[in-house]
Structure 1
């Protein structure tokens, strides 16, 4: 079966090319995509939608479960080092949740949702009580889903809103249309639900009011089923499945493969590091766009422009003693900012950086894997080889004596200029070298769990083990 897919964002050209070859029907494409491909595009409603994530290193996919599954097969096959994060429950899932606890000073309530938990902000509710809640944003990149107590059921022309009055879209400005829709809503409003007429309801009413009546009947059947199950089942209980959401992150090596797929398209130019520059900043994205326009059908200029882009980007690296952030991402989507540090060594040609970071001492805080207390005056030296799949952190006391080494296996290490930051995605397994020379491998169970839960592929899991052996050989 062929699925219809709508693609937006910086990967849209490459993914359109890839998915057309894999029998997807591309729908509602942008004008620039239509210009680049000699094919007939659909304008019908998509089964699956792809959009950029917040930082553009990743993207969000939502839509029909079967279509998403087919897409993920293609992603895994073509990009085995990509990170795939599936939500426990889809957006707009409606649940009978049970209150675990309220935190008054934060004005939030924690709900038990079954296999996961959710946070309802702005309300503190009684422990062990049950409430109807909806998932606003799933548990991707966070421990708990974000909930909403404003329950809605959406149709083509109308939205049912739990415990709300009837409303009409502000875009409907004709007084007669608004009056007709208000009168109709009063007659057919389901108990405990309000009707919000969407903009299209005005034309639908003019065509035939039965169109709207039949839609409300369908939504009411759904609402009746929700209330019936709410009354009949103990919490927690899913009452209505929402829209599945998946987040996909493309590490640096994977984006190079996506660059190469884009290069197969003969109607547009793709220079080296195309998607990397697009992610770095809007300004760099515009520079690469202009450079590709200039070099299109002019191969003699490609090498010159690529060298100029690298020279230009080289000027964006920080100077010595500049503060650099370190962004440590996890496979589940959580992101941590390590204590920033000063750049004390940098080789532009070798893309090698050393960063000095101060460590806050505390008798209650320990170095992971080293079983040593963090003491006043301790500091760390982080060594980053950009593009490498691992990094080394050396810990020292105030006298400069080494306390131990920590090697972290990760996605290829990257630098981003706005603001200055090192970025990598932790692949869970690590290695430490103790002061007496003993080498200990850490967190193999976390790597296995990342594979079992579908975040990483078998190929990436095996590569992580190979990298650990490579580090051991170095030591």
Structure 2
């Protein structure tokens, strides 16, 4: 039985799902423990689940067997977007630093790229690196020319200093700092206390630190061949939840706590305690609340299947003919993707977002209001509110002002199609036919 620690806005639903599928919940919040009737258990987790920065998905990290099992559960129960990292978190490997456009990077043993921070000066010879952020999809990772070895309670590193995970309380920080300075005897090495350390006996921490210290001495002695993995890291994947997945999580949460329809979509809008009140009042307000939240300034979260976020800010003009119209002023100097026109002063975009449609339409205008071109992005049905949230399905169509049409990004779609839910196997069928424009009166064809 794997042990899982879950935090974030999906904690109740995912804890219930994990519990039903044979996982043990450890270090639960008081609220989750009460809802699920969980006994106290502060043992270290085999995997950790936390919110993705978009608040529309999760990041899962831990023991590879546990991570793979949890990923299988998500695929079977929720059918979300899911992508595995190319390499392990805190994986130690041997690599030769390379240069590109003035930046230093290394190729991981799994074939991904990881950037080396500019504060490090590294020579082009084989040396050890630690992968602190593995590459996910096309996104580059981050590697340090340091050695970091992680256990269940502590991490030792060649960086130095005493560090603490954010989940450790102030009193435990003081106690653990005294332990580090008086008994660990790290001889210039650094230590980071993981959140589980606050629940552990000091002798357990000391035994683990000693074992990690001996392992670090062995690792540092080398020699190691280029491309060799010296120490395996923890597995990691990112899973992005569209509106359909959030609706399934609403149903799971409703088994253990009052939950209105659209609960998790509204949580992604930043609603907190007031949403708890709506849950207990059983108030069906999702559509009306979404329309209310979409008044005034809004932010469009264009989420890539691997978790990268493109943020676009604008002003809502309200709903016109069933579509939310958002006006965005464009910064001069760049070029409009797929259309090729240079962005001049005064250019702006009108974006039409229609609930239920699997595409968003961006029409670009010059300073006097003439149409420059239209860009149609295929995506999951959008969530409406102060944040417009959707997942990019990597297929687009550009329409120039002279009527020329081009379908874009087919190569990218083919490369990353494996990250998609089964229900989006035929993305090509979602691309609208004909010419569309977003106007101040709404979407027209």
Report the TM range for the smaller structure's normalisation.
0.7 to 0.9
Aligned to 1:430: 396
TM-score (norm 1): 0.75
Q: C-alpha separation between the residues in 2 aligned to 1:160 and 1:408?
A: 46
Deviation at 1:51, TM superposition (A): 1.5
| Structure 1 residue 133 displacement after superposition | 2.6
Aligned position for 2:262 = 273
Native 8 Å contact 1:25 1:42 kept in 2: no
Deviation of 1:459 after TM superposition, in Å, equals: 2.8
List alignment gaps of at least 5 residues for structure 2: 164-172, 437-444
Secondary structure of the equivalent of 1:280? coil
Pairing 1:449–2:444 present: no
Aligned to 1:143: 139
| 2:273 alignment partner in structure 1 | 286
Number of residues of Structure 1 aligned to a counterpart in Structure 2? 424
Superimposed CA distance per residue, residues 247-291 of structure 1 (whole angstroms, 9 cap, x where no aligned partner): 21111222112112222x1x421112111222222xx32012123
CA shift at 1:449, angstroms?
1.2
Report the counterpart of residue 49 of structure 2 in structure 1: 50
Match of 2:175 among 161, 164, 171: 171
Shift in alpha-carbon separation, 1:286–1:87, aligned structure 2, 3 A:
same
Q: 1:395 to 1:203 in 2, by over 3 A?
A: closer
Which residue of 283, 287, 300 maps to 1:326?
Answer: 300
2:88–2:233 Cα contact (<8 Å) kept = yes
Query: Of 368, 375, 378, which aligns to 1:409?
Result: 378
Q: Which residue of 2 aligns with 1:134?
A: 130
Taking the aligned partners of 2:190 and 2:91, their CA distance within structure 1 comes to: 20
Looking at structure 1, the residues matched to 161 and 32 of structure 2 have their Cα atoms a distance apart, in angstroms, of 43
Q: 1:203 to 1:32 in 2, by over 3 A?
A: closer
Q: CA deviation at 1:43?
A: 5.1
Q: CA deviation at 1:368?
A: 2.8
Q: TM-score, normalised by structure 2?
A: 0.79
Runs ≥4 residues deviating over 6 A:
197-203
Distance (whole Å) between structure 1 residues aligned to residue 368 and residue 177 of structure 2:
75
Q: Distance between the aligned counterparts of 1:59 and 1:398, measured in 2?
A: 41
Find the counterpart in structure 2 of residue 222 from structure 1: 215
Distance 1:47 1:36 in 2: 22
Richer in helix (by share): 1
Instruction: Note if contact 1:103-1:124 (Cα within 8 Å) is conserved in structure 2.
Output: no
CA contact (8 A) 1:102 1:124 kept: no
Which residue of the partner structure matches residue 92 of structure 1?
90
Q: Is the 8 A contact 1:5 1:25 kept in 2?
A: yes
Could you tell me how far apart the structure 1 residues matched to 2:162 and 2:371 are?
69
Secondary structure of the 2:420 match is: coil
Q: How does 1:33-432 map to 2 (within 5 A)?
A: 33-37=32-36, 44-80=43-79, 82-101=80-99, 109-114=104-109, 115-121=111-117, 123-140=119-136, 143-155=139-151, 160-162=156-158, 171=175, 181=183, 185=185, 194=189, 215=208, 218-219=211-212, 222-228=215-221, 230-234=222-226, 236-263=227-254, 265=255, 267-281=256-270, 284-293=271-280, 295=281, 302=282, 305-307=283-285, 311=288, 314-319=291-296, 323-338=297-312, 340-347=313-320, 352-359=323-330, 366-374=335-343, 378-398=347-367, 400-417=369-386, 421-432=387-398
Alpha-carbon contact 1:97-1:112 (below 8 Å) kept: yes
Q: Hey, what's the Cα distance between the residues in 2 that align with 1:55 and 1:221?
A: 40
